[in-house]
Amino acid sequence: MSDTETKTQTSVTLRPYELTDADRLAVLLNDPDVTEMTSSIPYPYARSDAEAFLSNVRNEEGREVSRAILLEGELVGGVGFKARASDDEELGYWVGKPYWGRGITSVAVAAFIVELDRLGIEGPIHAQTVASNIPSQRVLLKNGFRFVGDGECITPARSTAKKASKRFVLDR
């Protein structure tokens, strides 16, 4: 492990989102390269989108959990867990493009799984990635997920209704 990897791993933390995160979310998510890899984040992404998200996420109940990913105290991404239309509960995450390739997401997902355990959320965790998103697939595999098959993800925020996907599950 290099010094950069060690530093990244020790400086990644999670926290609940705050209303003051709106401007930072708008900057990081107003990037088609980031949103194209997600199923529900719209592009373009405006401050009003961030405010709507923050209003909803702060009213979470039950088994829906979302956290901001921080690097050295600065918001760089997000991770969440919630029910989907298929009745499976699904993990989702994103990191702003300037932070890609630094191991942040792998560390954040590991910390988030611990957070779910701490909150008493049990059972399998499902996840899916856009089929072309190999780095995201590596994040899941590093965190103990296993590949369970190909599929399609519904992408209501995209120009196409569905995209080819890879499906994973973490049995707990």
Domains of the chain, first to last: 3-170 (3.40.630.30)
pLDDT band at 120 (very low <50, low <70, confident <90, very high): confident
At residue 156, does pLDDT exceed 60?
no
Q: Is the pTM of this model over 0.85?
A: yes
At residue 20, does pLDDT exceed 80?
yes
At residue 12, does pLDDT exceed 50?
yes
The pLDDT assigned to 85 comes to 57
45-62 pLDDT, tens digit per residue, is 999 999 999 998 866 666
The pLDDT assigned to 93 comes to 97
CB 9 within 8 A of CB 107: yes
| C-alpha span between 27 and 47 (Å, rounded) | 8
3-state secondary structure of 80: strand
Looking at the chain, the whole-number percentage of residues with pLDDT higher than 90 is 65
- The first and second tokens of residue 22, run together, are 């709106």
pLDDT band at 40 (very low <50, low <70, confident <90, very high): confident
| C-alpha span between 148 and 131 (Å, rounded) | 13
At residue 3, does pLDDT exceed 50?
no
At residue 37, does pLDDT exceed 60?
yes
Q: Classify strands 12-15 and 65-71 as parallel, antiparallel or unpaired.
A: antiparallel
Average pLDDT of the chain, as a whole number: 87
The pLDDT assigned to 121 comes to 84
Q: 26 pairs with which residues across the strands?
A: none
| C-alpha span between 10 and 86 (Å, rounded) | 36
The pLDDT assigned to 9 comes to 55
Terminal Cα distance for the chain, rounded: 28
Q: Which helix (H) or strand (E) holds 130?
A: strand 125-130
